[in-house]
Amino acid sequence: MTIQPAKLSDPAVRAFVSAVNAHDRDAFLEVLAPGATMADDGSDRDLAEWIDREIFSSHGHMEVDRESQGGRALVARYSNDAWGEMRTRWSFTVGDDGRIARFETGQA
């Protein structure tokens, strides 16, 4: 059963998923802390390059199936024009300022 983005527990993660699904780069960048980092399948990636390729230029979309760790870990069906749909896991580190300092994703 899909969890609607508005119902996600963690406010930063809720904003992240909503921005991805709305293809709103400004809102997405707003939820990231300065100097935020990310990894894909266990390897650190260049954040700006990755989000452009995997989310914004390829129409990324997240359908969240499950959340855990207070909403900071997700299992989602992620789709984009490059890869189609795949089952993915996401984990988020949220700083004291309420912004995402790091996120990690990969196949679930």
Q: Residue 103's pLDDT is what?
A: 98
Q: And the tokens for 11?
A: 């406010």
Domains contained in the chain, number: 1
CATH code of 49's domain: 3.10.450.50
What whole-number distance in Å separates Cα of residue 92 and Cα of residue 80? 20
Residue 28 reports pLDDT greater than 90? yes
Q: Which tens digit of pLDDT belongs to each residue from 65-75? A: 999 999 999 99
Provide the residue range defining the domain that includes 70: 5-107
Q: What residues contact 49, with CB distance under 8 A and at least 6 apart?
A: none
In the prediction, which pLDDT does 41 show? 96
**pLDDT tens track for 77-103:** 999 999 999 999 999 999 999 999 999
- pTM of the entire predicted model: 0.96
Dihedral Cα 43, 46, 50, 53, nearest 10 deg: -130
Q: Residue 57: is its pLDDT beyond 90?
A: yes
